[in-house]
Amino acid sequence: MPDLVIRNGTVVDGTGAPRFRADVAVDGARIVAVGRVDERGRRELDATGRVVCPGFLDVHTHSDLMILAEPAHEAKLRQGITTDFVGLDGIGYAPLAPTQQRRFRDYFAALNGDPPVDGPWSTVAGYLATYDRRVAINVAHHVPHGCVRAAVLGWEDRQATPEELQRMQEITHAAFVDGAVALSTGLDYAPCAFATTDELVALSAVAARFTAPYVTHMRYKLGMRAAIRETIEIGRRAGCPVHISHFYSTARGWWPLLDEIDRAARVGVSVTHDSYAYSAGASLLHFFFPDWAMAGGTPEMLRRLEDAGFRQRVYDGMTARSEGADAKPDLARVQLAYVPSEANRALEGQRLDAIARARGVDAQWLIIDLVRAERACVAAVFFNDATDDDFDMLIRHPGHMCSTDAILTGGAPHPRAYGTYPRYLRHFVRERETVPLEAMIRRMTGLPAARFGLVDRGRIAPGLAADVVIFDPATVADRATFDRPKQHPIGIDVILVNGTAVIADGRHTGDLPGRGLRRGELAG
């Protein structure tokens, strides 16, 4: 007798195949039957009029620490997300040398938080184990290039020696052996930004041994076309697939560049990409600083910011970047999302230009002053000019996957943290009919599972893990907005993670069945 039989649902199985009516039986952590199930289950659930599909995989998040601090993880779970990918943008906490942990926590606190959690994070194996049965959803981990570089070169802005590069390759190899799903880098963030293309090729060649992708927040400061070409060149020389994170999230000039991705196939490089389909991105406020300002890490940058001459150099570097790159948002369209001090917390949700006018200061000087006052712990939302027509083109591309890039800190976060996946289902499937439901579900499930080597996730089929979402296709909808971002969606009734109901009748059960997932591993 199976533990659960879901009756009469409309199964969208994650492969892109047409939907079909079927029962789904679950026993323990696995799906055991799909079709007509005559045997009664210990529990029965009527899914008439509902879609039954695989749990959604979020291939780009910043949940690394916050999920351990808040294991119910409702912002993500209530969207139907049953697996978060962490260690993105070259940012992470494993494999992380103990001497570097404080620096990474300080630099990325505005993105990942800095809650009082800890663990055996010197290896990916130890890090993944800290999630097992302690969080509501599953977690898959990248090899963050920043961790690897910091372990060998610290935060020095220089080229690696051959001996240092070999050591970085050894660390990367060990992380893949431990189950990492990909190599990630964030080339607008130190210390990743200090790497040459040759260094990235050498480390991506290690990923190629495991048929794992090179995943990148590209070097946008080059301009979009040059950044894409560097990315494809890395994949070509390393012999590995490539995945571009939050492909469209910069302000201008991305939508004609899908042709660059299509050209990659001509040189033998497989390229995929993800998006969250809002006309705004989000990041650290000191994203605007020139790369050299971060040499030595956050403590060194903050020490130097006490010097008026250094602040002027940063200001001048920001001005040069604004005039010279096609990827930088207009400072007048930046909204503060996370400002931790009591003195400045009321600025959350306000636009930089309005704050600057009220204070009678230049907006760039305001950025420098806030970074200095808040010890570099400020996050912001950056609005851009992308339209629904642009997103339609991106979503229809065969290499497209869904992601949230969710930042869970602050009182005014980007609404993508609470609404991305229901927004796709409401706005781009039901209302705009950009792609059929089956195609969208595949972008959320089967395609990312296959790309990142999660061999028993992403599909509804016997023998696979019972990560299952049941939702009403007629009513599923996001409610999060830029004015009220912390609003949970509606229309998602039931969510199973490893066979355990974590959302039932639209409510969190309190169960924590999530686990750390490893590339190529069949979970027990």
* Residue 95: cis peptide before it, omega within 30 degrees of 0: yes
Hey, what domains does the chain have and what are their CATH numbers?
54-279+384-457 (3.20.20.140), 295-378 (no CATH)
- What CA–CA distance (Å, rounded) separates 267 from 516? 35
pLDDT in tens, the chain (524 residues): 999 999 999 999 999 999 999 999 999 999 999 999 999 999 999 999 999 999 999 999 999 999 999 999 999 999 999 999 999 999 999 999 888 988 899 888 998 999 999 888 999 999 999 999 999 999 999 999 999 999 999 999 999 999 999 999 999 999 999 999 999 999 989 999 999 999 999 999 999 999 999 999 999 888 888 999 999 999 999 999 999 999 874 444 555 688 888 889 888 999 999 999 899 999 899 888 988 998 888 889 999 999 999 999 999 988 776 544 444 457 788 999 999 999 999 999 999 999 999 999 999 999 999 999 999 999 999 998 888 988 998 999 999 999 999 999 999 999 999 999 999 999 999 999 999 999 999 999 999 999 999 999 999 999 999 999 999 999 999 999 999 999 999 999 999 999 999 999 989 999 999 999 999 987 66
| DSSP of 246-315 | TTT-SSSS-GGGHHHHHHHGGGT--EEEEE---SEEEEEGGGGS-GGGGTT-HHHHHHHTTSHHHHHHHH
Tokens (6 digits) for 235: 């994949």
Determine which helix (DSSP H) or strand (DSSP E) holds 171, and give its type and residue range.
helix 162-177
CA distance readout (Å), 164 to 227, 263, 274, 400, 502: 25, 34, 32, 35, 45
Q: Which residues contact 376 (CB under 8 A, 6 or more apart)?
A: 106, 107, 109, 110, 284, 286, 298, 301, 302
Q: What residues pair up with 141 in beta bridges, in sequence order?
A: 86
Which among 421, 508, 447, 468 is positioned nearest to 55, based on CA atoms? 468
SS3 357: helix
What's the pLDDT at 309? 95
**CB-count burial class (<10 Å; 0-12, 13-18, 19+) for 268:** exposed
**CB-count burial class (<10 Å; 0-12, 13-18, 19+) for 321:** middle
- What CA–CA distance (Å, rounded) separates 494 from 515? 19
> Could you give the angle at the alpha carbon of 147 between the alpha carbons of 142 and 151, nearest 5°?
140
Residue type, 48: T
Q: Which residues of 404-421 are buried (b: 16+ CB within 10 A; e: fewer)?
A: bbbbbbbebbbbbbbbbb
What's the pLDDT at 250? 47
| DSSP of 316-355 | HHHHHHHHH-SSPPPGGGEEEEE--STTTGGGTT-BHHHH
| DSSP of 107-164 | HTHHHH---S----TTSHHHHHHTTTTTSSSEEEE-EEHHHHHHHHHTT--SPPPHHH
User: 10 Å Cβ neighbour count for 105?
Assistant: 17
Strands 4-11 and 81-86 turn out to be unpaired
Strands 516-517 and 138-141 turn out to be parallel
Which among 241, 244, 194, 192 is positioned nearest to 218, based on CA atoms? 244
The pTM of this model reads 0.95
Q: Report helix, strand and coil shares of the chain as percent, to nearest 5.
A: 40, 20, 40
